[in-house]
Chain A
Amino acid sequence: MENPNAKAQRHRQLRSNNIDPIKQMRENHPSTNSEDDQRSSLLDLARAEITESSNSKTRTYGGFPDPGSGSGPSEPQAPFPDQVLENVLENVLHFLSSRRDRNAASLVCRSWYRAEALTRSELFIGNCYALSPTRATTRFTRIKSVTVKGKPRFADFDLMPPDWGAHFTPWASALAQAYPWLEKLHLKRMIVTDADLTLLADSFPDFRELVLVCCDGFGTPGLGAVAAKCRYRSHLYSSNKLLLLRVLELVESVVEAVGDEEVDWISCFPDSQTNMESLVFDCIECPINFEALDSLVARSPRLKKLRLNQFVSMAQLHRLLLRAPQLTHLGTGSFSANDPGGVGELVQDYTTAFEACRSLVCLSGFREIWADYLPTIYPVCANLTSLNLSYADVNAHQLKPVIRHCHKLQIFWVLDSICDEGLQAVAATCKDLRELRVFPVDAREGTEGPVSEVGFEAISQGCRKLESILYFCQRMTNAAVVAMSKNCPDLVVFRLCIIGRYRPDPVTQEPMDEGFGAIVMNCKKLTRLAVSGLLTDRAFEYIGRYGKLVRTLSVAFAGDTDMGLKYVLEGCPNLQKLEIRDSPFGDGALRSGLHHYYNMRFLWMSTCKLTRQACQEVAQALPNLVLEVINNSEENAGDDIEVLYMYRSLDGPRDDAPIFVNILH
C-alpha cells in the first residue's frame, strides 16, 4: 500500500493543477476493474456475499446474493489504489443513519459495499431467521446497536405454538464475541432466557440500553443480572463502579413470578448514583420492593421515563413523584389505593405532586384506576402529548374533564368504554391528534358495541392531522370510512377491526369494499393497512390498484377467490409483510407472487386454501425462500396445510425447528 502522506501530497498537487485527483488515479490505473477482483481481502470482509449476484435469477432482490457461491478464495495482498476514495466514502457514509439509505448505498459497487459495512453502527435484523448471526457479524464489524425481531405478529394471537422458535441465545453468543463494545440491544418477539441476559451483562462493559418488546422466557433473575452487572469503573484508581446502564425497558413482555426463583431485581442496582434515564417495567406481573425503587429513583437524577407496574399504589406513586418531578414519561401503576383509610384530602396532595411535574408529556398506566383520582392529573393535561388510558375502564363522563384540557395531545390510546360520546369529546379538543387506538373492553363477537361509526366519523372530522388509527368496533359504515379517507389524508397506518366477522355495512348491507377502497385511494401515504368486515375480491382489487406504498397488510376472514390475493401480490410493489388468516386464497394465488417473495420479509397464511404441493413448488422455484408448514392440531390434515409461514433466508432453513414445523425444500 502506498504511503498515505505521499498520496495526500500528490493530491494537493494535482488539485492545484486543476486536475481531479480521483479521475487521475483511475487513469493511472486503467485496469482498476480487474484489479478490483484480485484486491486484498483485508477490508473485503464480505466479498463472498456479492459474487455472482448479477447473473443470478434472484437479482431482483438486490442485496441478497446467491449464498450458493460460498466464501471466496483467499486473496493475495495487493495495494489499494482507491484507498483515498475509500477513506472519503467512509467519512461521508458515517453520516448516513437511515438503514434504507445505507442498504441502497451498499449496492452501488464493491467499495461502497465495504465502506458502508465498516461505517454502519446500527444493525437491524427484521427476521432473526433471515440469516445466521455469523453472517451478520462478519459483514458488519463495528456495530454498537442491534435490533432483532423474531416471531411474526400473528404469534401474539396464539396462532402458532409458543415454542416455535426465535431464540435469542445463538445471537447472544455471536454478538458477545463480535461486538464487545455493544451499547444497545432492542429485541422484539424473541425468546430471551435469564442466561442470555446474564451473558449480556457479563459481555458488554459499555452496555447502556436494553429494550425488550413482547419477549418472554426470562424472569427477575435475568433482570437482576442486568441491573447488577452493567457497570464500569468510575475512575482508574477507584473501586467505585457506576452504573452505566441508562435504559431498561420491558414492554408488553411476559415476566411472571416463578415460584422461589423470584429475585428482588430492583435491589440489584448498585447503591451509588446511577445514570438511569428510562426504567420501564409496567408489564412485570410480580410485586417489587418499593423501598428499593424509591431509593433508586432518588439516586437517579437523570431519570426521565418511569413506567411502574400495577403493584405500585397511588400513595407510592405520590412518593415517587415527589422524588422525581423532572419526569417526562410516567406510567402510573395501579392508580388506586391498596388499603382502606385515607380520605379526600389525599387527592389534593396528589394533585400538587402532579403539578410539580412540569415536564410531563406522556402518561400511561392507570391499571386499576380509581376514577376519583383522575382529577389529580388535570394540572399536567395541558402539556400532554401522549396519553394511554387503554387499561382504564373509564366512561365518557369521567373522560371529558380530562380530555378537555389535552389540547396538545398527539397520541391517545383508550378503551371503548368511553363510547362514541367520549370520542366526540376527543375530536372536539385534540386537534393535533396523530395516533388513536381504541381497544375493546369486551372482545366478544355479536354484542352491541359502545363505539361505532359515529365516534369514528367524529374523530375524522375533528382530528384532521391523524396519521395512525387502530379502531375496534362492532359496527362500521362505508360512509364513515370514506369520510375519514377524505378528512385525514395524512393517514399512514389504517387498522380497522370490526369484531364481528363478515359484517357488512349495517346501513347499506353492502360489503366494506368501498370504504377500504377509499382509504387506499385517498390516503396516498398509507404504508400499513388492516382490513375487516365483509370484503369481496373487489376490496383487494382496490388495494392492488391504489395501495402502491403499502408495506404491511393484515387480512382476516375476507375475500372470495384467488383473485383477491393476486391483485395484492401483483399490484403492491412495496409489500413486505403480508399476514392472512381464514381467507379463501389458494394455490393459484400463492403462485402469482413468485416474482415478489424475495422482496418481502414474510408471508403468513393460515387456514386458507393452500395445498402442500403448491408450497413445495414454490420452495423449489425459489431456493432462498424458507417455507414453514406448521400444524397446530394433532392430526395431519393431509394435503391441506394449516399455517404457512414463509420468509427469505440467506442461510437456508433453521436448525432449531420443533417437531410440528415442517420446512419444505
Chain B
Amino acid sequence: MFPLPFLKANAPHLSPKRHLDPPKSLFPYGTLTLSHPCPPFSVLDYRLYSEEMESTVTYESDLNLRATELRLGLPGTEEREEKTLPAAVRITNKRPLTETSEESVSKGPNAQHVETEAAPPAKAKIVGWPPIRSYRKNSLKENEGAGIYVKVSMDGAPYLRKIDLKVYGGYAQLLKALENMFKLTIGEYSEKEGYKGSDYAPTYEDKDGDWMLVGDVPWDMFVTSCKRLRIMKGSEARGLGCGV
C-alpha cells in the first residue's frame, strides 16, 4: 500500500501519522488487494487534481499549517525545505499518467497560496459533460454565457415571463423593462424605504433560497445570484424595505 505523502488542509483532525494508513475500506471483508501495485504517480495525480477541484477550502486558525502542507514526496522528508514546484496546470481531458511530478498539477507549498486559489480556476468547457442531452439543456435555457434567464412572476397575474438579465445594464433598465412588461409602476428604490409610494415591490429569490428586495445588493452580485423574480403587490410589498 502506498502511503499518502500529504494531508488535506481542510481536515484538521488528521494527525501527521494518518497518512501512513492505507485508505479505509467500507467493505466488511477488508480491502481487495490489487493484483499489481498502482504506480505511485497516479495516486499523487488524482489527489492533487481533486485538491484543485475543491471550490472552497476552509481553514481554522489553530491548524497546524506545517503538518497540513501540501507537498509531493514521501512522509519523513519534512526536513527538506519546500521546493518551488511548477505552476499549476489547467486540467485537460488527457491526464498525464506516466509523467513525473514536473507535469503534475501541484500547489505551492505555502498554505496561503491554496487559500487565495479557493475559487476554482476557469475550466475549459468540456464537450458533452455532464451527460445531459442538448434537448434537455435547451429546454431549461441555462446556457453559460448565452444569457441569464430568470422567470418573473407577478402576484395576481396568472402569467409568467422570462427575461434575460444580461440584457440590462443595471437596475434602472431592469425596472423599466418590468414596468413595461406588466404595465405597472414600481417607483424609485431607496435603501431605507424600499419602493415606497408604489403598490408593487420587485423581489427576487437568491441562490440561498432567500427572498430579497431588488436593489439591495450591487447589480453584478444580483445578476449572478438571482434565481427568479417576483413582483409583490399590496401590503406585503409595502412591508418590505421598511427597516428590514
Residue A211 CB within 8 A of the other chain: no
Determine if B244 is an interface residue (Cβ-Cβ < 8 Å).
Answer: no
Interface centre among B27, B55, B140, B158 (most CB of A within 10 A): B158
- Pair B123/A156 contact, Cβ less than 8 Å: no
B46 touches A536 (CB 8 A): yes
A391 x B129 contact (CB < 8 A): no
**Which of B38, B140, B151 gathers most chain A CB within 10 Å?**
B140
Are A157 and B128 touching (Cβ within 8 A)? yes
Which of the residues A157, A444, A581 comes within 8 Å of B133, measured between beta carbons? A157
Interface centre among A214, A368, A509 (most CB of B within 10 A): A509
Known: A537-B34, A545-B32. A514 touches B25 (CB 8 A): yes
From A393, A509, A511, contact of B151 by CB (8 A): A393
From the candidates B95, B134, B182, name the one contacting A158 in the complex (CB within 8 A). Answer: B134
**Quick check: is B198 within 8 A (CB to CB) of the other chain?**
no
Main secondary structure of the interface of A (DSSP, over half): loop
User: A314 to B134, alpha carbons, bound, how many Å?
Assistant: 26
Question: Which B23-71 residues have a C-beta within 8 angstroms of A?
Answer: 23-27, 32, 34-36, 38-39, 42-43, 46-47, 49-50, 53, 55
Which residue of the partner chain, among B34, B135, B209, B228, contacts A541 with CB atoms under 8 Å?
B34
Which segment of A82-90, A321-329, A403-411, A494-502 sits at the interface? A494-502
Contact yes or no, A442 B142, CB < 8 A: yes
Of B53, B93, B133, which one neighbours A156 at CB under 8 angstroms?
A: B133
Set A158, A336, A343, A560: member contacting B128, Cβ < 8 A: A158
Contact in complex: B158, A159 (CB < 8 Å):
no
Answer whether residue A556 sits at the interface, using C-beta atoms and an 8 A cutoff: yes
Question: Number of residue pairs across A and B with beta carbons under 8 Å?
Answer: 172
Given contacts A441-B142, A560-B39, A607-B93, contact A336 B136 (CB under 8 A): no
- Nearest A residue to B96, CB-CB: A584
A412 in contact (CB, < 8 A):
no
The reply on B127 being an interface residue by CB < 8 A is yes
List A residues 591-650 near B (Cβ within 8 Å): 607
Q: How many residues of A contact B (CB 8 A)?
A: 81
Is A445 close to B, CB under 8 A?
A: yes
Q: Decide: B55 and A446 in contact? CB cutoff 8 A.
A: yes
A563 touches B36 (CB 8 A): yes
Cβ-closest chain B residue relative to A545: B32
A472 at the interface (CB under 8 A from B): yes
Q: Give CA–CA (A479, B158) in the complex, Å.
A: 45
| Nearest 10 interchain pairs by C-beta | A157-B128, A560-B42, A446-B120, A337-B159, A336-B160, A514-B26, A337-B158, A504-B50, A370-B160, A156-B133
26 A-B pairs in the complex with CB atoms less than 8 angstroms apart = A157-B132, A336-B158, A340-B158, A371-B153, A390-B136, A391-B140, A393-B151, A419-B209, A440-B130, A441-B140, A443-B132, A444-B144, A446-B53, A448-B55, A501-B91, A504-B46, A511-B23, A514-B25, A517-B27, A536-B38, A538-B32, A545-B32, A556-B129, A561-B42, A563-B34, A563-B35
Q: Which residues does B use to contact A, with CB under 8 Å?
A: 8, 11, 23-27, 32, 34-36, 38-39, 42-43, 46-47, 49-50, 53, 55, 91, 93-95, 97, 120, 123, 126-137, 139-140, 142, 144, 151, 153, 156-160, 162, 182-183, 209, 228
Apart from the given pairs A340-B183, A482-B26, 5 other A-B contacts in the complex at a CB distance below 8 Å? A159-B127, A444-B144, A518-B27, A557-B129, A607-B93
